[in-house]
Structure 1
Amino acid sequence: MTQATQVNLGETQDRTALAGLRVLDIATFVAAPFCGTILADFGAEVIKIEQPVGGDALRKFGTITECGDSLVWLSEARNKKAVTMDLRKPEGVELFKRLVAQSDVVLENFRPGTLERWGIGFDALREINPGLIMLRISAYGQTGPKRGEPGFARIAHAFSGLSWLAGEADGPPVVPGSTSMADYVSGMWGAIGVLTALQARQATGKGQFIDLGLYESVFRLLDEIAPAYAKYGTVRARMGADTVNVVPHSHYQTGSGEWVALACTSDKMFERLADVMGNPDLAKEFPTSAIRVQHREHINALVAEWMRQRSLPEVVESTRAGGVPCAQIYSIKEIFEDEQYKARENLLHINDQRVGDLVVPAPLPRLSDTPPAFRHAGRALGADNTEVYSGLLGLSAEQLNAAKSAGVI
């Protein structure tokens, strides 16, 4: 039995922060669409626009469910309306422009120049809707010598410098956790950009576009590597689980076989750890971070040996009592069993009409007065064509059928 919050499909909050905001999501996979997911979680009307045949490739990415769509799609296309439209056809472009005229935001992540070739670049759309905000995410951004090159999150991790840092000191660069991290991080930066542009529009009445490269989203998170290289020529090497300026700050194996993460980010924290280990003189022998970094191997060995002599419960309880940050390194199994995840309602247990019971990550962040809400999982291809095209654009049944027969929708 999973420890997850029970949520009925279609349940909504009375107060939504972004009610009245209409977003057109013509992007694919994760990066820009994840921005749409965030906005939809807070009440924006996000209309997901896909190719009539096949739809977004994310539908087939990952574990495929009995409805034909993937678990990733069901989770990350949440709360969005699903319509089909072929933007490569003039009739599709015309329908899209009509939607743009009544919308606030467009999300896209095609290679730079693609939308311009279709006649729906930002300049063209701004003539239709001067207040339009467009998020443009691509591998390398809209400018520069690499602007036209393709790329996915793995390439962004490599180009940003993150992959260089991931792995053991004597081993090759490895995947830094999730292969899709750059996509998700770019979606978050994109959401910041959209919300900032919306705030600016309140003052100016004008829209703007947000230009974001996948690699930039990751590079911005890499603490001091840029100033350290510029000032001292330092090229940080791979350090495995260790951290460049702090010791002990790593992963250690307990005597019962589990792994834990330990974080001693200050001299005071190391003093607490020395007390917990029953060796307070360690804090006097190695009083500062700089000194401890010089004796990294020795200190790590002392901590590792202390861990090996104790079971996981003993390690966790003693560090907790001593005020030292320490936690078991979880797999998804431990996450589903953990009381903190349950108390924070981080796992939503929903019942989807297409696949039945499903557990997905809860929307974030939490707002006290206008919290995010889960309304439904990722929809079937074209599920909302009639609602959007008839309800919003006023197309008749005959016009809908004609557009479908022509492959426009």
Structure 2
Amino acid sequence: MGAFIGSLLGNSFEKGQSPSFPITAFAQIIPPLPYQNGRVMNLPLQGIKVVELGQLIAGPFAAKILAEFGAEVIKVEPPLTGDPLRKWRLLHNGTSVWWAVQSRNKQSVTLDLRQPKAQEMARQLIRDADVLVENFRPGTLEGWGLSWEELHALNPKLIMLRVSGYGQTGPYRDRPGFGVIGEAMGGLRHLSGEAGRTPVRVGVSIGDSLAALHGVIGILLALRHREQNGGDGQQIDVALYESVFNVMESLIPEYSVFNTVREPAGSSMPGIAPTNAYRCNDGKYALIAGNGDSIYRRLMEKIDRMDLANDPELEHNDGRVRHVARIDAAISTWTAERSMDEVLAALNEARIPAGKIYDAADIANDPHYQARDMLLQSALDDGTPVTLPGIVPKLQDTPGQVRTPAPTLGQHTDAVLEAHGIDAATREEWRRLGVI
């Protein structure tokens, strides 16, 4: 792995040494990397250059993760309007506070990719890049002269992540698809909610986020392949519905073997027992997962149901599943006599997995979140304090960093274009024509 990281960084150097990367037009406008213990941090993706043509969630979320671990990300946005995410959810001074999360560590360059001059400028950016991220409907980039074949010929080392609703092939490829459609086709939406009622959303765009995570995995695998084999880059095809389907556990094996269609089950998990949300006497719910064999016994001992603890029929999960109603009733009777805090204190003492249902206020005030740097204090453009999510995963020696705040629209257009040889007069003309 060390050789892989060394190749990504472009140099090998000892602790305490500063890296001496070649200064390219792409890298000149990248802010300096953070220092730790008096030396420049060697972030895992330092030196990797990314062009992001994505909008909204899946593509930009993938690029966000790369940027947090050192990649240099140039985000291309439409002039005047920018990425529509700037206007999603709650706005502060006209810009979504979500933007402060999704676009940190990135640079914003405006290009109207419908115009030939902008397409040529995009090619210049991509010529220098290691990775291109896009999440348009299949065929969109091809219509702009930015197909995989054309870009691979331009830059054989390029790795191109393509996220779409249904993938780049297949009978549905041309259909538009947002995350919620992928969640439905992937099987998740059928299982959400309660039987006989309207399927409910998770509450966030989980399909897009899963696609982004699969995209990042694909990029890292392609980087590894390129380094290991000294070969070309490759195209990565991520479909929203497949990213959801990939986490659907035994859904299809159960159908194929038993002809069983898994149905929604509310707050429980069919086939695993006991695990559920149990109401307490203060009206709050405790989530209790007593589904391990030894954990189940401790749980029954804690709620003083030794008859259930000692029943050989309930010793293993398959037996407990057959009698889950009786077990749930016993747990519910016990929690109904106690507050949620009392329930959780007792179960934590007995080493039984249990917790409360967190909302945003709970998260913002939780000492464990704070202790693990998952609540980062920052400021918006006008100085308004804002708390942002921390960085995941947590690498011991090369943790991710927030180096720069989310950019204003086109904040880096002049610097990036100038670094690529576009003079001020040309840039002014392009602005007049709406190219940038």
What TM-score range do you get, normalising by the shorter chain?
over 0.9
CA pair 12-351 structure 1, distance change in 2 beyond 3 A:
farther
8 Å CA contact retained: 2:100, 2:380: no
TM superposition shift of 1:174: 0.9
TM superposition shift of 1:387: 1.4
CA distance in 1, matches of 2:66, 2:353: 33
CA distance in 1, matches of 2:381, 2:32: 11
- Establish whether residue 48 from structure 1 lines up as the match of residue 70 from structure 2: no
Matched with 2:148 is: 122
Residues 346-380 of structure 1 show CA distances to partners (whole Å, capped at 9, x for unaligned) of 11111233452111101111111111001233211
CA pair 218-355 structure 1, distance change in 2 beyond 3 A:
farther
Cα RMSD (Å): 1.4
Superposition map of 1:9-408 within 5 A = 12-13=34-35, 14-15=40-41, 16-66=43-93, 68-178=94-204, 180-202=205-227, 203-285=229-311, 286-391=314-419, 393-408=420-435
TM superposition shift of 1:234: 1.2
Q: Secondary structure at the match of 1:348?
A: strand
Q: Secondary structure at the match of 1:151?
A: coil
CA distance in 2, matches of 1:100, 1:127: 11
8 Å CA contact retained: 2:55, 2:84: yes
TM superposition shift of 1:254: 1.2
TM superposition shift of 1:388: 0.7
8 Å CA contact retained: 1:162, 1:176: no
Q: Give me the TM-score of the superposition, normalised by structure 2.
A: 0.89
CA distance in 2, matches of 1:134, 1:279: 58
Q: Give me the TM-score of the superposition, normalised by structure 1.
A: 0.95
Q: Secondary structure at the match of 2:387?
A: strand
8 Å CA contact retained: 2:166, 2:239: yes
TM superposition shift of 1:115: 0.8
8 Å CA contact retained: 1:86, 1:407: yes
Residues 121-150 of structure 1 show CA distances to partners (whole Å, capped at 9, x for unaligned) of 111001110000000000000011100000
8 Å CA contact retained: 1:11, 1:374: no
In structure 2, list runs of 5 or more residues that go unmatched.
1-30
TM superposition shift of 1:73: 1.2
CA distance in 2, matches of 1:156, 1:237: 18
TM superposition shift of 1:177: 3.6
CA pair 88-341 structure 1, distance change in 2 beyond 3 A:
same
In structure 1, list runs of 5 or more residues that go unmatched.
1-8
TM superposition shift of 1:30: 0.4
8 Å CA contact retained: 2:137, 2:174: yes
CA distance in 2, matches of 1:408, 1:340: 48
Q: Secondary structure at the match of 2:98?
A: helix
Give 1:252's aligned amino acid: Y
CA distance in 1, matches of 2:153, 2:398: 33
8 Å CA contact retained: 1:65, 1:355: no
8 Å CA contact retained: 1:156, 1:215: yes
8 Å CA contact retained: 1:10, 1:376: no
Give 2:86's aligned amino acid: R
- Indicate the structure whose relative CO is greater, using CA pairs within 8 Å and at least 6 residues apart: 1
CA distance in 2, matches of 1:288, 1:17: 44
CA distance in 2, matches of 1:331, 1:351: 22
Matched with 2:15 is: none
How many equivalent residue pairs?
398
Q: Secondary structure at the match of 1:242?
A: coil
